[in-house]
């Protein structure tokens, strides 16, 4: 059988960074072909070449036996190639339907925009995904998981023969992932070829026919999924054995750093009235406290309240190191000793027009200044210290933040937080879109910070992750705490039971 895609000696250089180097492999018609590798391995760069986002590169692509080089994404789409990007590319000010058909707007015979038909088709696509998102709602008002579903609906609207999925489930709940699996099954039954990038082994080993591994921009191997194992793939990705992560120390006897008493967050104009209701807990020095819950349970809202970033001021008390505080702005929280890594690094975490170094140091400029005058040498030293200690893969502090992989961008944001020397570090789904090797590094970093006395609150949509890193896990359901489990008693089953306890009544 002739390959539908033949990638032949493809290479790509970004300034001093060699993103791809002589990569060659074939994709067969109708297969789901997974591409795996650590952050910075070149996966997303290769997919951008295949979809026309990048048009200057070495080597060539052969599509259904014909050499091709797409000038832009429109050419790729016309050839039947569509991509769901890892990083969201929505116009937040426009409604959902307008985002789905952006650049391909439907018009009537007179060339007038046919909004009703766009809304109807958008609703059909969202129904396929079993999503209740109204096509008329503004995209910017939606949470990351819902925005990811819009990206998927946009790709489905193109009716592509080759669909590239770059981390399509990174912000989806388990139920949304199950729906996406159903969509993938239907696409494959229609003969659609799928190139699938994911860091989640369970996804790849459920879906893939074959797996190609990239490492440091180079092709390692292509294997049949039935002939390999997650452990072998992980070893091929990182080129070394991953050390298991153990969290043995207990922090119960340590002093209380943070106490939350009767915390509630109003939800103006909504029938539920409250996003969070009567939240009470304590956080000890050196403790890693996990927050579990389904999408919409209030995980992000809780961290935003603690960081002074909630849309309306919360009720209740936040007591930090014995002092009752009220944060009206994140600057107040940082000044008091709380730092936060947000779940949506692209939209509210990164300064995309600035360098790697400036992204790291921006919250610590006053500490790097002498008599109000910023010292470029001290700023550069501080950035390079974080680049070194966090093993950030970059051409240097002067490089553009956009030149880094998603995992390395996330490390930059963590480095920014650490420069403020916080007592409490809030991590909102910190490994979203991060590969297995970088995840292990982040887990070890959390452990090191906790051992140094930092108190950490971490949310995650992946229960195994919370079970790996947490000393204790709180479970939220519909804005209320419905379970609390110390490390020895926490299991996926009892966490899920608590996370659905209010939903089932």
pLDDT in tens, 312-334: 999 999 999 999 998 989 999 99
pLDDT at residue 93 is higher than 70: yes
Tokens, residue 155: 């790709």
Ramachandran class of 65: left when φ > 0, alpha when ψ lies in -120 to 50, beta otherwise:
left
pLDDT of residue 250: 56
Neighbours of 118 (CB within 10 A): 22
pLDDT of residue 501: 67
Tokens, residue 436: 């297995």
Q: Do 84 and 155 form a contact (C-beta atoms < 8 A)?
A: yes
Residue length of the chain? 505
Q: Is 360 helix (H, G, I), strand (E, B) or coil?
A: helix
**Adjacent-strand bridge partners of 307:** none
Of 106, 24, 425, the closest CA to residue 258 belongs to 425
- pLDDT, mean over the chain: 87
pLDDT at residue 241 is higher than 60: no
Q: Do 308 and 337 form a contact (C-beta atoms < 8 A)?
A: no
Q: Is 477 helix (H, G, I), strand (E, B) or coil?
A: strand
Half-sphere exposure of 182 (CA within 13 A, CB side): 10
- DSSP structure string for 218-236: EEEEEEEGGG--HHHHHHH
**pLDDT for 476-498, tens place per residue?**
988 999 999 998 888 887 887 88
pLDDT of residue 370: 81
Q: Is 453 helix (H, G, I), strand (E, B) or coil?
A: coil
Spatial CB neighbours of 414, under 8 Å, sequence gap ≥ 6: 341, 390, 427, 430, 442, 445
Q: Do 87 and 346 form a contact (C-beta atoms < 8 A)?
A: yes
In order of 158, 173, 237, 341, the CA distances from 294 in angstroms are 30, 7, 30, 19
Please, what are the domains in the chain?
Answer: 5-238 (3.40.50.300), 255-337+423-505 (3.40.50.300), 349-421 (no CATH)
* pLDDT over 90 percentage in the chain: 48
Q: Quickly list H helices, 327-459.
A: 330-336, 356-361, 376-389, 406-419, 436-451
**Residue whose pair of structure tokens reads 């995309």 in the numeric block:** 352
pLDDT of residue 116: 92
């Amino acid at each position: 059988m002739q390959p539908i895609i033949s990638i032949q000696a493809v290479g790509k250089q970004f300034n001093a960074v060699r993103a791809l180097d002589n990569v060659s492999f074939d994709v067969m018609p109708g297969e789901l072909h997974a591409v795996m590798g650590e952050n910075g391995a070149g996966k997303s760069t290769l997919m951008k070449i295949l979809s026309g986002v990048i048009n200057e590169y070495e080597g060539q692509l052969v599509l259904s036996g014909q050499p091709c080089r797409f000038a832009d994404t429109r050419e790729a789409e016309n050839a039947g190639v569509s991509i769901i990007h890892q990083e969201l590319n929505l116009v937040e000010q426009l409604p959902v339907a307008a985002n789905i058909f952006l650049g391909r707007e439907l018009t009537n015979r007179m060339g007038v925009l046919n909004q009703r038909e766009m809304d109807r088709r958008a609703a059909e696509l969202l129904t396929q995904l079993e999503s209740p998102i109204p096509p008329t709602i503004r995209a910017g008002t939606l949470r990351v998981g819902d925005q990811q579903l819009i990206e998927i609906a946009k790709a489905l609207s193109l009716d592509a023969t080759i669909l590239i999925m770059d981390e399509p489930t990174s912000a989806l709940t388990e139920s949304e992932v199950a729906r996406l699996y159903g969509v993938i099954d239907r696409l494959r039954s229609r003969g659609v070829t799928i190139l699938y990038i994911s860091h989640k082994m369970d996804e790849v080993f459920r879906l893939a026919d074959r797996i190609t591994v990239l490492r440091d921009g180079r092709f390692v191997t292509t294997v049949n999924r039935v002939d390999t194992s997650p452990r072998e793939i992980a070893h091929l990705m990182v080129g070394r054995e991953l050390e298991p992560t153990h969290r043995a120390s207990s922090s119960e006897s340590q002093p209380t750093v943070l106490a939350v008493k009767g915390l509630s967050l109003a939800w103006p104009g909504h029938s539920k009235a409250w996003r969070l209701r009567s939240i009470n807990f304590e956080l000890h020095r050196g403790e890693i406290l996990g927050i579990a819950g389904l999408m919409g349970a209030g995980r992000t809202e809780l961290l935003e309240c603690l960081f002074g970033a909630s849309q309306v001021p919360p009720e209740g008390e936040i007591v930090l190191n014995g002092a009752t505080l009220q944060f009206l702005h994140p600057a107040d929280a940082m000044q008091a000793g709380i730092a936060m890594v947000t779940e949506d690094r692209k939209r509210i975490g990164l300064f995309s027009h600035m360098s790697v170094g400036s992204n790291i140091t921006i919250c610590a400029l006053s500490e790097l200044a002498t008599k109000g005058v910023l010292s470029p040498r001290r700023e550069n030293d501080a950035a390079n210290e974080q680049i070194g200690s966090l093993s950030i893969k970059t051409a240097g502090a002067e490089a553009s933040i956009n030149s880094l992989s998603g995992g390395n961008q996330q490390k930059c944001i963590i480095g920014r937080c650490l420069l403020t020397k916080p007592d409490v570090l809030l991590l909102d789904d910190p490994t979203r879109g991060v590969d297995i090797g970088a995840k292990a590094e982040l887990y070890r970093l959390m452990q090191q910070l906790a051992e140094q006395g930092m108190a950490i609150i971490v949310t995650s949509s992946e229960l195994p992750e919370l079970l790996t890193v947490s000393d204790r896990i709180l479970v939220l359901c519909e804005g209320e705490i419905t379970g609390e489990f110390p490390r020895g008693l926490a299991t996926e089953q009892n966490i899920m039971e608590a996370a659905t306890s209010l939903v089932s009544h």
